A and B are shown apart, each in its own frame.
Chain A
Amino acid sequence: MRVIPIAADSGACDEGTGEVPKLDLPLARREFLKGSGILMGTIAIGSPLAALAPSPVWAVELKVLTKAEGDALMKMGRTLYPHKRLADAVYALLAKDLDAKAAGDAATATLLRDGIAALNSAAGGNFARANDKKRLEIVKAIEGQPFFATVRGQCVTSLYDNDMAYATFGYPGSAWEKGGYITRGFQDLKWLPAPPLEASPKPWFG
């Protein structure tokens, strides 16, 4: 699959929220989309990502899974790790990463397809369209099974180890190129009194 990462010019870091102005939004050019499934969406206006991305449209191409299967995995990700603020584009990364594993390993492909089929069956047809409560029930019922473990395990890196998640949760990532935090708020907390100097001496500035 092709993913064209978007790297916006890095501007000043927002000290208040710690957001990072750098994104790896998976934007695939339509003319190259040849996979069996294509996940697409737009970033909500007002999301911390919207102001940073060159385009509000994102797309992810799947190699072996269908769009419906990709949608089910995205919804399962949202059921396992529900974050109102986290864009669908991030949950699409989960589908993308699982699809890549399935493309490289037939046993994983079968595990995922069968697992998704079971989700749909438990939902009476379409897991992705079931309501939150129903989806939670269905996922809870398969906790600990290999399909559950594969998807949940993948969530840990797919959902939380990317620039969109960093921006959403307010984690700025790499600090070295910005000179660390010695002059950028490492002790700016004001809602508690500062410790005395014998416990916490002043920083050295030569």
Chain B
Amino acid sequence: MAKFDMGDDSVVVIIGSGAGGGTLANELCQKGIKVVVLEAGGVQSSASFINDEWKSFVQLAWLDPRTTSGSWRVAKDFSGLPAWICKTVGGTTTHWAGASLRLQEHEFKVKTTYGDIPGANLMDWPVTLKELEPWYAKAEDKMGVTRTNGIPGLPGNNNFKVMYSGATKLGYKDVHTGNMAINSQPRDGRGRCMQLGFCFQGCKSGAKWSTLYTEIPKAEATGNLDLRPQSHVTRIEHNEAGKVTGVVYFDKDGKEQRQKARVVCVAGNSIETPRLLLLSASNLFKDGLANSSGQVGRNYMRHMTGSVYAAFKNPVHMYRGTTMAGIIRDEAHHDTKRGFAGGYEMETLSLGIPFMAAFLNPGGWGEDFSWWMDRYTNLAGMWLVGEDMPRETNRVTLNTNVKDKWGSPVPNVHFDDHDNDIAMRNHAFKQGERVYQAAGAIRTFRTPPYPSTHNLGTCRMGASAKDSVCNAYGQTHDIPNLFISDGSQFTTGGAENPTLTIVTLAIRQADHIARQMSARAL
């Protein structure tokens, strides 16, 4: 692995090593560009991952203090844990389920398609599906997405059998084991899925794509990557000309360091990325970096989510095999006849006994709660995930009343469900219940949202510097050598799990940065 000097101002500094940062690092390194990756978390591996829900959670999750506000249920159930994302090399690609779906054409132009929706800050993306298609293809090949590039689908588990049976009885047509970045057969030096059932806990077989053991070692092999784990960035610095010059971070020994940079790319997930821009406010940029539009931290999206669990007379053993083992896509389209704009996906999900107790019905107790736990082996489960409305008032701000261990104000995450989100969730709950009833469920249960895993939109891309933070390449309008490289870029959320799109944008951004560097525009 390379070691670059703290004063080397020719390097690209990437903050974060997940889907965005890890991919961008490898893409740049492959092009011969020197990269320093600063990752707040430590290094784990398939060997050190733990098949135990709480132990793994403590090992991987981002547990630095955060606060919440707003009327969303998460603020009540998990007031200090708005998001379930990771602080580890590989970021949340260690925890993600692997669902890799392209956004639909209309989801890049929702303002045009949905029109004005009161209380929603809709905007078209500055890029179309057509422009992204070749980049999506590169991402699918890189990640080994099933049902693309001639890769077979995964075998469905018992949980999927139940979903498939109910869905097809209900008349749904687009039902299968999904487009998953999980090897159905050996590929890219990694084995095939062993159906462990612990996708969320870090894949111990390495069958699930994670930057931890794909992009990052490939980048290291080029000799162009200097990966520094346990490096928590607290500030991005700039010069009088308004260009960023480097970052300040605390290393693994708690010592303050200052790394110079030619380009800085922020990929800390949609809570930490805007927080860092806000923490970097200066005399020149009083409202934070790249924030002349006032949109940094705003339009926070977390997808419309919810789960349906169903109890059956006979055993299901849903915990066996891939967590997200199959999908129903028939509700993913836009059709306002259902009473809302946008669409949603229905994807199987399972939890072990420890997390079932924590998440089935947070705060719940009594005979009814016990009834569900008693029938654990006979439960099937699905997750509902759909497009939520961006709102200027849903936002990440600095909470100056609470400080983290480095003395920085913690992020506060404010969220109020839009009426469209509520209407969609109710529709999705009902359809999820109908699927399971069609498969013979004796009872169904509507589980409220888990802490957010799909955090999006807080540094949105747009055509104009007036109402967006960055351009179609994630390059900030205000500071040309400062890039947004994660899901914060999303103009709107789409219905699909976002990782494939984050990786796609990172590959495209790397190409843009390399071209601009050789043209000396950066």
A binds B: yes
Min CB gap B53→A, angstroms: 8
Using A161-B357, A169-B374, A198-B176 as known contacts, say yes or no to A187 and B161 having CB atoms under 8 A apart.
yes
Partner of B153 from the list A18, A185, A201 (CB cut-off 8 Å) is A201
Stretch at the interface among B63-71, B109-117, B129-137, B364-372: B364-372
Supposing A189-B315, A195-B156 touch, asked if A81 and B198 sit within 8 A by C-beta, the answer is no
**Could you tell me if B357 and A159 are in contact, using CB atoms closer than 8 angstroms?**
yes
* Residue-wise interface mask of A (125-138) relative to B, using a CB-CB cutoff of 8 A (1 in contact, 0 not): 00000000000100
A44 within 8 A of B: no
Contact string, A170-206, partner B, CB cutoff 8 A, digits 1/0? 1111111001111011111101111100111111100
Taken residue by residue from 18 to 45, chain A's Cβ proximity to chain B (1 for < 8 Å, 0 otherwise) reads as: 1000000000000000000000000000
**B351 — nearest CB in chain A belongs to which residue?**
A171
- Point out the residue from B153, B194, B365 that lies within 8 Å of A180, measured CB to CB: B194
> Which of B161, B316, B317, B358 is within 8 Å of A194, CB to CB?
B161
CB-based contact A186/B164 at 8 Å? no
* Assembly CA distance A202 to B377 (angstroms): 24
A:102-129 near B, CB below 8 Å = none
User: Which of B32-68 touch A at CB < 8 Å?
Assistant: 50-54
B319 to chain A, nearest CB (A): 7
Pick the contact of B352 from A136, A159, A173, A202 — CB < 8 Å?
A: A173
Instruction: Give bound CA distance, A18 to B50, whole Å.
Output: 19
Q: Would you give the shortest CB distance from A15 to chain B, in whole angstroms?
A: 9
A136 to B165, CA, bound (A): 40
Is there an interface contact between B365 and A186, defined as CB atoms closer than 8 Å? Answer: no
* Distance from B439 Cβ to chain A, minimum over Cβ atoms (Å): 7
B192 within 8 A of A: yes
CA distance A136 to B368 in the complex (A): 13
A148 to chain B, nearest CB (A): 9
Q: Does B507 contact A (CB under 8 A)?
A: no
Q: Please report the C-alpha to C-alpha distance between residue A190 and residue B375 in the assembled complex, in whole angstroms.
A: 18
Task: Enumerate chain A residues within 8 angstroms of B156, measured Cβ to Cβ.
Answer: 187, 195, 199-200
**Closest A-chain residue to B176, C-beta based?**
A199
Q: A156-B358, A192-B161 are in contact. Are A185 and B352 (CB under 8 A)?
A: no
Interface of B: prevailing SS: loop
B205 within 8 A of A: yes
* Shortest Cβ gap from B120 to chain A (Å): 34
**B195 in complex: contacting residue of A174, A182, A195, CB < 8 Å:** A182
**Chain B residues in 8 Å Cβ range of A185:** 317, 320
Taking the nearest CB of chain A, how far is it from the CB of B173, in angstroms?
A: 10
Interface residues of B in 164-219 (CB under 8 A from A): 164-165, 175-177, 184-186, 192-198, 204-205
Are B54 and A161 closer than 8 Å at their CB atoms?
yes
Question: Is B326 on the interface with A (CB-CB < 8 A)?
Answer: yes
Q: Tell me the complex Cα distance, A195–B439, Å.
A: 13
Of the listed residues A169, A179, A184, the one surrounded by the most CB atoms of chain B closer than 10 A to its CB is: A169
With A156-B357, A175-B51 already in contact, the answer to whether A169 and B194 are too (CB < 8 A) is: no
A200 contacts B197, CB within 8 Å?
Answer: no
Contact between A202 and B51, CB atoms less than 8 A apart: no
Please tell me which one of the listed residues B155, B165, B176, B357 contacts residue A192 in the complex, with CB atoms under 8 A apart. B165
Q: Of residues 347 to 370 in B, which have CB atoms within 8 Å of A's CB atoms?
A: 352-354, 356-358, 363, 365-367, 369-370
Question: Which chain B residues border A186 with CB–CB below 8 Å?
Answer: 155, 157-158, 195, 197, 320-321
Judged by a CB distance under 8 angstroms, whether A82 is at the interface is: yes
A165–B192 Cα distance when bound, in Å, is: 31
Residue numbers in B under 8 Å from A195 (CB-CB): 156, 160-161, 164-165, 175
Report whether B194 and A173 are in contact in the complex, using a CB–CB cutoff of 8 Å: no
- Nearest Cβ in chain A — how far from B167, in angstroms? 10
B314: CB under 8 A from chain A?
yes
| A181, B154: Cα distance in complex, Å | 14
Whether A17 and B377, one on each chain, are in contact in the complex, defined by CB atoms closer than 8 angstroms, is yes
With A180-B205, A189-B315 known as contacts, the answer to whether A83 contacts B370 (CB < 8 A) is yes
**Nearest neighbor of A161 in chain B, beta-carbon distance:** B354
Whether A199 touches B195, Cβ cut-off 8 Å, given contacts A17-B377, A159-B357, A174-B52, is: no
In contact, A80 and B366 (Cβ under 8 angstroms):
yes
Complex CA gap A172/B177 in Å reads 24
- A157 interface residue, CB < 8 Å from B? yes
Task: Check: B125 CB closer than 8 A to any chain A CB.
Answer: no
Q: Please indicate the chain B residues that have their CB under 8 angstroms from the CB of A159 in the complex.
A: 357
- Tell me which of A80, A81, A186 has the highest count of chain B C-beta atoms within 10 A of its own C-beta: A186
A202/B196 in contact, CB under 8 A: no
Q: Which residues of A contact B344 (CB under 8 A)?
A: none
Contact: A82 with B367, CB < 8 Å?
yes
Closest Cβ neighbor of B367 among chain A residues:
A82
New contact pairs (4) apart from A175-B320, A184-B320, A195-B161, CB-CB < 8 Å:
A169-B353, A171-B319, A182-B194, A200-B153
B residues near A (Cβ < 8 Å) are 50-54, 152-158, 160-162, 164-165, 175-177, 184-186, 192-198, 204-205, 314-317, 319-321, 326, 352-354, 356-358, 363, 365-367, 369-370, 373-374, 376-377, 439-440
